[in-house]
Amino acid sequence: ITCLYIYTFVFVFFRSKSEPPLDKGVIPWLGHALEFGKDASKFLNRMKLKHGNIFTVRAAGRYVTVLLDPHSYDAVINDSDSLDFTRYAQVLMERIFNLRLPHHQPAKAKAMMKKHFLGMNFGSLNSAMGKHLQALLKAEMPQNQKDWKEEGLFNFSYSLLFKAGYLTLFGGEQNNNGTDPSSVYEEYKKFDGLLTKMARGTLKPEEKRTAQSVRQRLWELLAPAGLTEDSGSSPWLHAYRCLLQEEGADKETQKKAILMQLWATQGNVGPAAFWLLGYLLTNHEALAAVKREMETSETSLLNGPVNTPVFDSALEEALRLTAAPFITREVVQEKTLHMADGQEYLLRKGDRVCLFPFNSPQMDPEIHQEPQKFKYDRFLNEDGSAKRVFYKGGRRLKYYTMPWGAGTNGCVGKQFAINTIRQFVYMVLANYDLELSDPNAQIPEINASRYGFGMLQPEGDLLVRFKPRNTH
């Protein structure tokens, strides 16, 4: 027994030499959790200066190995046998959505999603989205309106895109449970505000009650979505419902799963459109370039391929500055990680591995000069084509920006999201005069508490004013 005790003692307190440097933080158990939650980007930069491109930190009882060398990311992204995606996803699913899927087949759900968002339905999804966007914009700002209307650009972008996406995927007008999509948005915004705390398990008792009641209301609002084929929701949602039923999920569980899909499909697009429009409105040259391309573009936006390299570069640049997901995997069997520089490190079973592409490649000054600055043509070559060649340490990078994740678990909705944002931005720029309320206003600061959870959000909002464009 003594031997076993000593063995355990040694095993727990001394990690072997070939493992990444360990930084436990000063607070027992919690470790670095507080600093991590407050501003993960700053914290990970500090750790990188101290330890280098790979290190292990302790946060809330877990050991998390952080890898910040983009040349070595493939070693993590490629190895889905030793580094599992679903386990940590399930932990978050339970914490945020109170959801446990019995007999869940993630591969099947994903294949189905691919079929609908990349395959044959892509065109009809885009045109449905376009129609809803147009109708919502008109309702928001009738063509006969003469006066300027003032609004926060973040709320404007998020609410319009959320409502259009909700109507397109979760239910046509006949299926809003008798409710206006605005009330779904209002409830969703409350939920969104508590999301990071739910994920970290740091809700205060009062916030916990709010979270529960908001979640309950959203479940009720979403209850009929996708139930029947003619419910007015997208074919994808109906097929997803059928899969859940096949897997033996009861009605309660189904509602929770639908809320999770609402988050996955609507949580990032609105904030992304906000940052792009915000950067354009605060950079005259960029706005002029995007407008020029839009006006000369002969391609129809609803059907067929589009060729908008200037817009694409501006969006890529906005996402480089504001998309900040963690890419997290759980080590399910011991693994030796081979770094690009030839170093090898042992990853321990049960630990987590985390990539944070926001710090590198996205904000890495060695890859992107003046990384804090919005340069709409950063992803354009001199001849106007898309630029895909970037270097770090003299070697060409496979990953020079990663807003969509990568590998088999990368974003399924990427093309749909890009098309949606393009339609939205073009519609607004073509039909409205849109300008900053204060011509000298700057893009708002980033809310640092959201690093790690997809698209970042601003602190406060950017006031803009708009009115229908006088086209005569």
113, interface contact from ligand NAG, ligand HEM, none, CB < 5-8 Å by kind: ligand HEM
- Span of 63-71, 184-192, 321-329, 331-339 interacting with ligand HEM by CB under 6 A: 321-329
- Distance in Å, CB of 220 to ligand NAG, minimum: 4
Among 91, 92, 264, 306, binds ligand HEM (CB under 6 A): 264
Looking only at the bridges linking them, the beta strands covering 432-436 and 463-468 are antiparallel
Q: Encoding tokens for residue 370?
A: 């003046």
Q: Is 95 annotated as a binding residue?
A: yes
| 417 binds, options ligand HEM, ligand NAG, none, Cβ within 5 to 8 A by partner type | ligand HEM
Between residues 193 and 235, which has the closer beta carbon with respect to ligand NAG?
193
Distances in Å between the Cα of 302 and the Cα atoms of 129, 154, 232, 310, 420 are: 10, 25, 21, 18, 10
Among 47, 160, 327, 347, binds ligand HEM (CB under 6 A): 327
Nearest to 358 by CA among 23, 21, 44: 44
Q: Which of 47, 76, 113, 276 binds ligand HEM (CB under 6 A)?
A: 113
Q: Which stretch binds ligand HEM (CB under 6 A): 10-18, 19-27, 186-194, 411-419?
A: 411-419
Instruction: Decide if residue 110 touches ligand HEM (CB under 6 A).
Output: yes
Instruction: For the beta carbon of residue 394, count every other beta carbon within 10 angstroms.
Output: 5
User: What is d(CA 206, CA 466) in angstroms, rounded to the nearest whole number?
Assistant: 39
Q: Distance between CA atoms of 298 and 219, rounded to whole angstroms?
A: 43
Q: Considering the complex, what minimum distance in angstroms separates the CB of residue 169 from ligand HEM?
A: 7
Q: In what order do the strands lie in the sheet with 54-59?
A: 22-23, 54-59, 62-67, 352-355, 327-331, 83-84
Residues in the interface with ligand HEM (CB under 6 A) total 23
Which of ligand HEM, ligand NAG, none does residue 135 bind (CB under 5 to 8 Å by kind)?
Answer: none
Nearer to ligand NAG, 23 or 39 (CB): 39
Binding residue for ligand HEM, selected from 37, 171, 232, 325, defined by CB under 6 A: 325
- Is residue 399 near ligand HEM by the rule CB under 6 A? no
Q: Collect all residues with Cβ–Cβ distance below 8 Å to 378 and sequence separation of at least 6.
A: 313, 316, 317, 320, 368, 387
The least distance separating ligand NAG from the CB of residue 310, rounded to whole angstroms, comes to 27
- Out of ligand HEM, ligand NAG, none, what residue 411 binds, judged by CB under 5 to 8 A for its kind, is ligand HEM
The pair of structure tokens assigned to 233 is: 């929701």
159 interacts with, out of ligand HEM, ligand NAG, none, CB within 5 to 8 A per kind:
ligand NAG
125 is in an annotated binding site: no
Rounded to a whole number of angstroms, the minimum distance from the CB of residue 197 to ligand HEM is 20
**405 binding ligand HEM? (CB under 6 A):** yes
* Cα–Cα distance measured from residue 445 to residue 405, given in angstroms and rounded to the nearest whole number: 24
Decide if residue 121 touches ligand HEM (CB under 6 A).
no
What minimum distance in Å lies between the beta carbon of 398 and ligand NAG? 8
CB of 377 to ligand HEM, least distance (A): 20
Q: Is 411 annotated as a binding residue?
A: yes
Q: Which residue is nearest to ligand HEM (CB)?
A: 413
Cα distance between residue 59 and residue 44, in whole Å: 12
Prior bond of 361 cis (ω within 30°): yes
Answer yes or no whether residue 417 interacts with ligand HEM by CB under 6 A. yes
The whole-angstrom separation of Cα 217 and Cα 197 is: 19
Quick check: 455 binds ligand HEM (CB under 6 A)? yes
What does the angle CA 128 – CA 132 – CA 136 come to, to the nearest 5 degrees? Answer: 175
Is there a contact between 258 and 99 (Cβ–Cβ < 8 Å)? no
Interaction partner, residue 70 (ligand NAG, ligand HEM, none; CB < 5-8 Å by kind): none
CB 436 within 8 Å of CB 462: yes
Residues recorded for the chain:
472
Per CB under 6 A, residues contacting ligand NAG are: 74-75, 78, 140, 151-152, 155-156, 159, 177-179, 193, 196, 220-221, 223-224, 447, 449-450, 459
Nearest to 165 by CA among 462, 453, 458, 424: 424
Residues found near ligand HEM in the complex (CB under 6 A): 110, 113, 117, 264-265, 268-269, 272, 323, 325, 327, 403-405, 409-413, 416-417, 454-455
Binding-site residue positions for heme: 411
- Binding positions are 95, 101, 268, 352, 411
